[in-house]
Structure 1
């Protein structure tokens, strides 16, 4: 093989599979629950609860992220966040991530290093670590993450426990990621960033799309408070609450007035000529949490960070202010576009 031009950044092909793994794992400090980390055929983890909660998500370039819109570090953080939010939605705490990355051979090694830096940074927010994984050749960049979690002796909070009379509440941000996607798709962001103007109308929502901010601690807090059902809002509030309604054989009514339009959402809506309520009701990828709590509970009895936004009733389906919602309830990967 010809010597590599030292002026050209190293690619993953230059390093090779094991050289790349060695580079992205060097110097990483594992959390105490990792008994054996990367370097063997499998990791070894302590499981004090006796049970392990597991969830997997995959992010594909061009579907879930664009590298002209987001940095590799931002993509890595997002890949970790979307997975750890699922664990939080079960009332558990994330403990470890297993990561598989696919990319073309000509991919700069610095891109993979950025992805792993972002994965580690987001994992650190919950005390988790990246304990192993794989790297493979692929036509585009793909990041697949499996997250493990600890229930700390509690029962998991599933989607099927909501009962008529329960209170529907949310924790975390809604609508920002959808607004950010609209801003990025419009092309406004590119001109604004070049002009140094993005710090005004669109900066907050674009940042929210690039890196979600799940309320990780809100899931375990809801479990401790007796939440009857819970879900990660990944596809849109109405769509995901619809999963709870179906699994629990109940109807859920969302109060539009209980979803205040934050200033950054109002600014983005004005700049883009959009309806902010639609973002709040149907926008995905914020990875907020939605949960139902026992009948009669209300502020201040809800855990900190949770806001009541609706009620559970006998019946089926999801309504907004007592009426069916006009339009798509959220994202579906395989629906007709």
Structure 2
């Protein structure tokens, strides 16, 4: 009977890479995986670059209380999505990913293959087909860690920074707000995943496989966005970061917040939560926060969420909701 290895400890590094590379596609790198480093074209003459990490039991769980099991596909998708979103927030187009995997020896080989499949699927589904997985690294450790660095092409445009917001500007968002936070609360609630209906599973998928609006970043740059950033840690926390960097304040529109929360009301009632809290504090949808000049026609998909204010009264970085200071909600890796 033929022997079929099940766990990564049963393969050599080369044998595991041989399982991964064919699932990533050939890509458009001038020199892809196989050498000590990849080689990429830089037609703009500039490259934007970002890096992010997913750590088991910190950024994802393999097993949720209600029975859902996080697949390698989920983690691969999420890894791609959050990194692509950072490039999007600069107004650039992603060109390459390099991925570092730390794997316990008992990790199933199929889980790692699924991760490679999730990376590739996310690139296609999110509209980043031009981005290639150019290489990476494998290592053994006590827990699963997935780190990816992504590069991007500005295509001749100036990068859109966090520092350009001006008093009187319009604050706008694109993409979902609060859906991933609702999905996290649902998965963490202990509700039986097998018994969940369509809308519940959709929210869970928002947490495990977010869909950032990748076409929105370049579109906002072309439309003249003054400032922009990825909403990864929550609307309030990230709007505060943008405001602080720009030396301004931000005032959110409560009616706009209620409109954003409408789709989450049923889920919030079922869990005894407030849907607006998810909108204000949830960030893993990786929506886009952008600032446009007053009267500028917003690009497709953007919704007005508030206005940029003068910081003289409240101080730079202050986020208010109709003039009242917002609680400091959102994610902080090192907060007690």
TM-score with structure 2 length normalisation?
A: 0.92
Moved more, 35-44 or 115-124: 115-124
User: 1:93, 1:149 within 8 Å by CA — same for their partners in 2?
Assistant: yes
Give the aligned length: 322
| 2:219 is the counterpart of 1:221 | yes
Residue in 2 aligned with 1:26?
22
Q: Once the 2 structures are TM-superposed, how far is the Cα of residue 261 of structure 1 from its aligned partner?
A: 4.0
Matches within 5 A, 1:147-296: 147-188=150-191, 191=192, 193-195=193-195, 197-200=196-199, 202-259=200-257, 260-261=259-260, 264-296=263-295
What are the ranges of 5 or more consecutive residues in structure 2 without an aligned counterpart? 64-68
Q: 1:27 to 1:292 in 2, by over 3 A?
A: closer
Residue in 2 aligned with 1:319?
320
> What is the alpha-carbon distance in structure 1 between the residues aligned to residue 233 and residue 333 of structure 2?
9
Q: 1:264 to 1:314 in 2, by over 3 A?
A: closer
Matches within 5 A, 1:48-197: 48-68=43-63, 69-124=69-124, 125-127=127-129, 128-188=131-191, 191=192, 193-195=193-195, 197=196
> What is the alpha-carbon distance in structure 2 between the residues aligned to residue 27 and residue 105 of structure 1?
21
User: 1:103, 1:138 within 8 Å by CA — same for their partners in 2?
Assistant: yes
TM-score with structure 1 length normalisation?
A: 0.92
Residue in 2 aligned with 1:42?
37
> What is the alpha-carbon distance in structure 1 between the residues aligned to residue 166 and residue 24 of structure 2?
45
Residue in 2 aligned with 1:17?
13
> What is the alpha-carbon distance in structure 1 between the residues aligned to residue 233 and residue 2 of structure 2?
45
> 2:298 pairs with 293, 302, 305, which one?
302
User: 1:94, 1:148 within 8 Å by CA — same for their partners in 2?
Assistant: yes
User: 1:76, 1:115 within 8 Å by CA — same for their partners in 2?
Assistant: yes
Residue in 1 aligned with 2:66?
none
> What is the alpha-carbon distance in structure 2 between the residues aligned to residue 268 and residue 92 of structure 1?
35
> What is the alpha-carbon distance in structure 1 between the residues aligned to residue 76 and residue 266 of structure 2?
28
User: 2:46, 2:154 within 8 Å by CA — same for their partners in 1?
Assistant: yes
